[in-house]
């Protein structure tokens, strides 16, 4: 076998995202870039995915600067690549062509060479505009077909009961389905096609068949992307190479395996035995890997695996005879299609090097590893772990009802959260889909695009109130506000096109980040200006330091203050949530240990604080300042209607995002009164009866328990 295999290195994007929650700082990346310049990878995935959001949210760094810095260091040796979700780019909203055009233009001018474009529904219409603009601005359009499988209906006992003897649905995700998608993408101008196995669920024999079919069906290069979570990763990549794939995605040793892609060092050993040329400088790779070991130690507090592979350099270290034999067996079995033996040999190889074992839970659930762990973490936060098994069983039904979307961001989160909602409905004795998230409504309505199978009109009517499909109307899209910051020298929040794009794609995160940038620039400018005359200075009172005189409220873990739920002067009760702390990608409610009045907010929203840091103090009611800010009770005071009242409650625990009524408003049955965030989804809370709003018991930002009373109405 004489062939050249190209390598796309994922270490600085998907690798660190899979293992370390995308927490690599710019200075850590800078340390490995000189070696990357010598490594000669075909491509380096360094941007897109969670990188732009995370570097602003957690690291206070500019995403554009990251891309530009890497390009400056690596030059044209390797093509820099990024991942985007078609017309959704990095978010949940379909954007206008103007925004997609501006994004592609700025990304390519900042150094991007390849844009990997995918759509969560495999809806070709959703990637057309990105392909067009990437190519117009001189980039390479890498179009991904998202690999997925039909649900295991037989495993879902509840769904089987609902079938009532009817035949199981016909398979949808056949080889022909994927091949036809590849053909359509090539016709649209795709410069390469990626088989994107985001869940690591593709078995070796299946990927060999798909690679062979793709190579016959399209003329452009074919790439294969997978993960090792369920245990197929290494065997699947080997089978793809044997089948003639042009490019494979890998990570470097210390950032490989487990939730990430296979290690390039193992792929190198296979190519040496196969006689396949892999034009990568493995000496430079070894230097990168040495530095990555140090960086991984620095990222220990966010390390998802905490599972270091044994040190190994394929250029200098000799394999024991029994492991050498496993490599030979794996190649033989890959060529002959002996899947079970191939997987066993690859597991033996990974076990010898101490890579993580296959995750059997994820494999049996047949959903992405990230989707599963996300569900577990969020159910723990909601104190509802007992419904996990029921929610898992409901995923096949929810997915089928919603048109069988592939389980990849964002559809994996939408389907997973809705399965949890349905499990909660059943637990309470309610009908399934009593509570639905706004994102699930948008999916069923048609705003995300065409689903692999049509959604039944009756189901759409049940969820959305109408039978007809209603695509997202980008003509109604409203740009994010871009205010002038008077306290930062009168500059705009977003001063150039790059910053405007950040504000559009990440409204809340970019707002906080850009405001911090402008504030720092303004303070630096003031510090550099000549100081005022001494006589003038005497007339200016120095800024008073924050005085802490009450009982301190501290945070139990390091994190970032996302939001304060109270303000100075507010009355608080013992155990009342007073702030939201973001730690390890989870939102944590910080409660007060005391009753009293808020005296001082010590930390600012957006500030990163250490474990046990004080964020506010509480003073006794008797010594609360007379000029205290209005309490919650005062803020809610309004003329009340008279008559018997009836409460409106929330069906699940979550956070109040929006209150859409005020005391005195007349509401009708079925009207939305509250927007509740639960499981990262927005849920519209409606009233089951008509009346006049009497009193509102919550505020935006409050965290509430299931069945909490949020307001009451005077009926009639």
**pLDDT over 80 at 164, yes or no:** no
Mean pLDDT of 575-598: 74
Q: Which of 15-24, 372-381, 551-560 has the highest mean pLDDT?
A: 15-24
Model confidence at 234, pLDDT cuts 50, 70, 90, reads very high
With cut-offs at 50, 70 and 90, classify the pLDDT of residue 550: confident
What per-residue confidence (pLDDT) applies to 535? 43
For 207-261, give the secondary structure using H, E and C.
HHHHHHHHHHHCCCCEEEECCCCCCCHHHHHHHHHHCCCCEEEEECHHHCCCCCC
| pLDDT score, position 542 | 43
Percentage of the chain beyond pLDDT 70 is: 87
pLDDT digits (tens, 9 = 90+) for 433-483: 988 888 899 999 999 999 999 999 999 999 999 999 999 888 888 888 999
Work out the pLDDT band at 534, boundaries 50, 70, 90: very low
pLDDT score at 657: 78
* Bigger pLDDT: 291 vs 698: 291
Least confident of 126-135, 159-168, 479-488, 546-555: 159-168
pLDDT attached to residue 267: 98
Does position 350 have pLDDT exceeding 80, yes or no? yes
- Among the ranges 142-156, 207-221, 422-436, which has the highest mean pLDDT value? 207-221
- Look at residues 595, 591, 504, 583 and name the one whose alpha carbon lies nearest to residue 553: 591
What is the structure's pLDDT at 285?
Answer: 98
| Mean pLDDT on 377-403 | 83
Structure confidence at residue 273 (pLDDT)? 97
Query: Is 79:141 a contact under the CB 8 Å cutoff?
Result: no
Weakest mean pLDDT among 388-397, 603-612, 686-695: 603-612
DSSP line for 276-315: EE----HHHHHHHHHHHHHHHHHTGGG-S---PPPP--TT
Highest mean pLDDT, choosing among 164-168, 312-316, 574-578, 679-683: 312-316
**Mean pLDDT (whole number) for 26-38:** 97
Alpha helices in 97-167 (DSSP H): 97-109, 128-136, 157-163
Residue 250 Ramachandran class (φ > 0 left, ψ -120 to 50 alpha, else beta): beta
The number of CA neighbours under 13 Å toward the Cβ of 470 is 12
More confident residue, 622 or 116: 116
The pLDDT of 221-246, averaged and rounded, is 97
Name the band, by pLDDT with cuts 50, 70 and 90, for residue 587.
low
Instruction: Report how far apart, in Å, the C-alpha atoms of 629 and of each of 464, 551, 563, 568 are.
Output: 42, 19, 18, 6
Judge whether residue 393 has pLDDT over 80.
Answer: yes
Judged against a pLDDT cut of 60, whether residue 28 lies above it is answered with yes
> What global pTM score does this model have?
0.78
CA dist 500 and 169 (Å) reads 46
CA 55 to chain centre: 13
* pLDDT on residue 274: 97
């Amino acid at each position: 076998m004489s062939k050249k295999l190209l390598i796309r290195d994922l270490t600085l994007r998907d690798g660190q995202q899979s293992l370390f929650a995308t927490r690599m700082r710019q200075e850590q990346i800078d340390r490995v870039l000189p070696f990357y310049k010598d490594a000669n990878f075909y491509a380096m995935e360094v941007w897109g995915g969670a990188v732009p959001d995370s570097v602003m949210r957690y690291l206070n760094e500019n995403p554009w600067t990251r891309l530009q810095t890497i390009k400056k260091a690596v030059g044209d040796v390797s093509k820099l690549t990024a991942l985007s979700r078609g017309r959704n780019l990095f978010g949940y909203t379909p954007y206008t062509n103007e925004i997609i055009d501006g994004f592609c233009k700025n990304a390519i001018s900042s150094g991007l060479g390849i844009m990997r474009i995918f759509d969560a529904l495999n809806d070709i219409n959703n990637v057309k505009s990105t392909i067009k603009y990437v190519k117009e601005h001189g980039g390479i359009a890498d179009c991904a077909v998202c690999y997925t499988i039909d649900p295991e209906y037989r495993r879902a006992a509840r769904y089987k009961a609902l079938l009532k003897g009817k035949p199981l649905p016909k398979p949808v995700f056949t080889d022909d389905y994927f091949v036809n998608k590849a053909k359509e993408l090539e016709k649209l101008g795709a410069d390469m096609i990626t088989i994107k196995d985001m869940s690591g669920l593709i078995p070796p024999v299946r990927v060999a068949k798909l690679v062979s079919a793709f190579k016959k069906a399209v003329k452009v290069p074919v790439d294969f992307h997978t993960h090792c979570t369920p245990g197929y990763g290494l065997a699947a990549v080997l089978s793809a190479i044997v089948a003639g794939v042009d490019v494979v995605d890998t990570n470097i040793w210390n950032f490989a395996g487990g939730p990430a892609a296979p290690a390039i060092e193992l792929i190198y050993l296979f190519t040496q035995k196969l006689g396949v040329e892999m034009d990568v400088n493995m000496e430079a790779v070894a230097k990168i890997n040495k530095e990555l070991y140090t960086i991984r130690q620095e990222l220990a507090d966010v390390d998802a695996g905490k599972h270091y592979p044994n040190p190994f350099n394929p250029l200098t270290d000799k394999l024991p005879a029994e492991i050498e034999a496993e490599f030979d067996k794996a190649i033989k079995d890959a060529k002959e299609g002996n899947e079970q033996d191939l997987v066993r040999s690859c597991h033996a190889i990974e076990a010898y090097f101490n890579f993580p074992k296959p995750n059997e839970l994820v494999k049996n659930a047949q959903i992405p590893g990230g989707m599963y762990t996300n569900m577990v973490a969020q159910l723990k936060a909601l104190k509802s772990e007992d419904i996990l098994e029921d929610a898992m069983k409901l995923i096949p039904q929810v997915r089928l009802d919603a048109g069988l979307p592939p389980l990849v961001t964002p559809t994996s989160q939408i389907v997973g959260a809705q399965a949890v909602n349905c499990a909660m409905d059943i637990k309470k004795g309610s009908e399934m889909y009593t509570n639905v998230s706004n994102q699930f409504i948008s999916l069923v309505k048609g705003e995300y695009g065409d689903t692999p199978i049509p959604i039944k009109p009756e189901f759409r009517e049940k969820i959305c109130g109408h039978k007809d499909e209603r695509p997202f109307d980008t003509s109604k899209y409203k740009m994010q506000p871009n205010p002038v910051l008077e306290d930062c020298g009168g500059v705009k929040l977003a001063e150039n096109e790059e910053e405007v794009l950040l504000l559009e794609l990440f409204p809340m995160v970019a707002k906080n980040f850009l405001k911090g940038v402008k504030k720092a620039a303004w303070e630096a400018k003031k510090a550099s200006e000549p100081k005022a005359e001494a006589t003038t200075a005497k007339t200016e009172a120095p800024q008073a330091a924050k005085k802490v005189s009450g009982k301190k409220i501290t945070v139990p873990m390091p994190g970032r203050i996302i939001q304060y739920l109270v303000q100075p002067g507010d009355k608080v009760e013992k155990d009342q949530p007073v702030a939201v702390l973001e730690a390890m990608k989870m939102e944590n409610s910080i409660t007060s240990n005391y009753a009293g009045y808020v005296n001082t907010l010590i930390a600012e929203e957006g500030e990163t604080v250490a474990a046990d840091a004080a964020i506010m103090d509480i003073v006794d009611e008797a010594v609360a300042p007379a000029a205290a800010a209005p309490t919650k009770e005062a803020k809610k005071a309004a003329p009340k209607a008279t008559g018997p009242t009836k409460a409106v409650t929330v069906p699940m625990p979550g956070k109040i995002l929006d209150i859409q009524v005020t005391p005195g408003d007349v509401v009708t049955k079925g009207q939305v009164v509250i927007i509740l965030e639960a499981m990262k989804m927005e849920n519209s809370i409606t009233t089951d009866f008509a009346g006049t709003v009497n009193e509102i018991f919550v505020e935006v930002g409050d965290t509430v328990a299931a069945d909490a009373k949020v307001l009451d109405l005077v009926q009639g």
